[in-house]
Chain A
Amino acid sequence: MLDPGHFEDLLDNLERDVLAIDRTGDTGIVHLLFRTIHNLKSSSAQAGLSALAGDLHSLEDTMDRVRRGKVPWTPACYDQVTRVIDQVRLAIQSENLGADPLPPAEPAAVEPAPEAAMAPAPVPEAPAPGAGRWGRGFSQEAIAACQLAEAVGLGVYRIEKLFSKGLDEDTFLSLPVLEDIRELGKLIAFHPSWQAYSEGPEEQVVSFLFTSPRTETELACILFDPLLVLAEPRTGQPARRKERLRILIIEDDQTTAHLMQYILRQHGEVVVCATAMEGLACFHEALDGGDRFDMVLLDLVLPDLHGDGVLMEIREHEFRLGILDAGARCQVIISTANGNVDQIMLSLQHDPDGYLIKPVNFDLIIEKVADLKAQRLVAPEPDRP
């Protein structure tokens, strides 16, 4: 099962890349290292070299933490990589000579570099030569956009993704990573440019710089590649830190809407929309602006679109933004007239948080609002009698 040529190719790549990091300080190369170590690990496991695969797994874990910005690249990382290169060579020789599998490794060789892998960074990560806080190679304009975003409380993030050469421009620009970034926030720039990528080496790392009101946890629900947090968002705070509830009423019957508004405005900021499209626009604007609605009271029978469609759109939009937790998402309460109970049953498949049958029993809404205030506000205000 062991193909020495395959292993030698991977080891050559590993040596080349670890020397390049040591020489240039460009930690972006760690993505290439990670990939090679990952391939070596899976090839070792497939070849039955389980002890070696275990050591490579430990090294892969260290490199994953470095590429995700959790720990810095230190001389210990360099030592760990070179030790493992020696181990792999030894293992290949043993296999080729028909000897017993990998002899017991010296303790120093199997120990992962603990200070790099496990402990917090002993010193702050020094930026690589030429690298700023936002990443290498970005224009002054892009950096100014990051600074502005941070000043207004948006999160600033960088994704570093490995590419192989050969994608055409249309394919490159429509990759899921770019679609996701546009969906979750705003792309500021990527480096190198497509032109430079297309003329560059066979394998290279492309950095995508973007802003988003979402937190790292929310983004990680959707994004897979290493995500570096350059500035924490202030607007994407957990719901618990809110000062007041925001409630959206989507209701075309003016009397009901006014009554709801009158009662609920004691408990938070209330916005009323008379049509589905107006309501959805308002919901999206609030969510994208980072000041999302906590509750939507949604009439099922609306003049332009059935409330069922509105509920589905709300849930899909939240899913795309990675808001999956029932405690964090918007609480949608559907309501309809007495004769439309069947419609409520149909709407249940889109996962509302409650339903009301008109004439509305306001005690039920007040109860729900009180629960939300207890869950989401900094210090719940006492309910008025």
Chain B
Amino acid sequence: MADRPKVLVVDDTPFHSNFLKMYLTTKGYQVTVATDGVQGLAAAKSESYAFVFSDIEMPNMNGIEMLRSIKRLPAYAATPVIMLSTLDDAAMKQKADSFGAFHYMVKPFNSAKMDELFAKLKV
């Protein structure tokens, strides 16, 4: 059990973080949930995660700010960070890309989107 890879999920909506936690747990991951960017960044600094899922619209520190902060940590330079948003917006996708996001997923989640993501992650 100790060898299960760890994944960080950052979302202030329990509905979404619960879904991701359930999905990722069944895939064999050990999931940590944070509810804003401040908590997410603190978790990323204290643990090593295989990849990170983050919502964008969050209080205190939004997902874009957290993405930038995480990508400045040398340990996370190559870690895939998947941004989650209900907004299918080209400018927002470009912003996430420019700050080093691995993937931009438009909510709602479904298995096809998650399969596509995991194919891209090659895990």
Contact = CB atoms under 8 A, between A and B. Distances in A.
A6 B12 CA distance: 13
A42 B86 contact: yes
B68 A176 contact: yes
Interface string B44-69: 00000000000011011110111011
Given A46-B107, A175-B38, A224-B95, A162 B59 contact: yes
Contacts of A38: 57, 86
A224 B62 contact: yes
A43 B16 CA distance: 8
Contact of A45 (B57, B69, B86): B86
Interface residues of B, number: 24
Given A42-B13, A46-B15, A224-B95, A164 B60 contact: yes
B23 interface: no
A41 B68 CA distance: 26
B26 to A, nearest CB: 17
Given A3-B15, A42-B108, A164-B60, A176 B65 contact: yes
Contacts of B68: 176
Contact of B16 (A46, A167, A176): A46
A3 B14 CA distance: 12
Interface string B61-84: 110111011000000000000000
Secondary structure dominating the interface of B: loop
Given A42-B13, A164-B36, A35 B65 contact: no
A194 interface: no
Contact of A164 (B57, B59, B69): B59
B59 A203 contact: yes
B83 to A, nearest CB: 12
B107 A45 contact: yes
B102 to A, nearest CB: 18
B16 A163 contact: no
Nearest to B57: A38
A144 to B, nearest CB: 30
Interface in B1-39: 12-13, 15-16, 19, 36-38
A371 interface: no
A163 B12 CA distance: 12
A39 interface: yes
A45 B108 CA distance: 6
A43 to B, nearest CB: 5
A359 B107 CA distance: 59
Nearest to B92: A224
B104 to A, nearest CB: 14
Contacts of B64: 224
B36 A46 contact: no
A41 B86 contact: yes
Contacts of A39: 13
B12 to A, nearest CB: 8
Query: B12, B13, B16, B56 — which one has the most chain A CB atoms within 10 A of its CB?
Result: B13
Top 8 A-B residue pairs of the complex, sorted by shortest distance between their CB atoms = A176-B65, A46-B108, A45-B108, A164-B59, A224-B64, A42-B86, A162-B59, A42-B107
Interface of B: 12-13, 15-16, 19, 36-38, 56-57, 59-62, 64-66, 68-69, 86, 95, 107-109
13 contacts: A43-B15, A46-B16, A57-B86, A161-B59, A162-B60, A163-B60, A175-B60, A176-B65, A176-B68, A224-B56, A224-B64, A224-B95, A225-B62
Given A46-B16, A176-B65, 11 more contacts: A38-B86, A41-B86, A42-B13, A42-B15, A42-B86, A42-B107, A42-B108, A45-B107, A167-B38, A175-B38, A176-B66
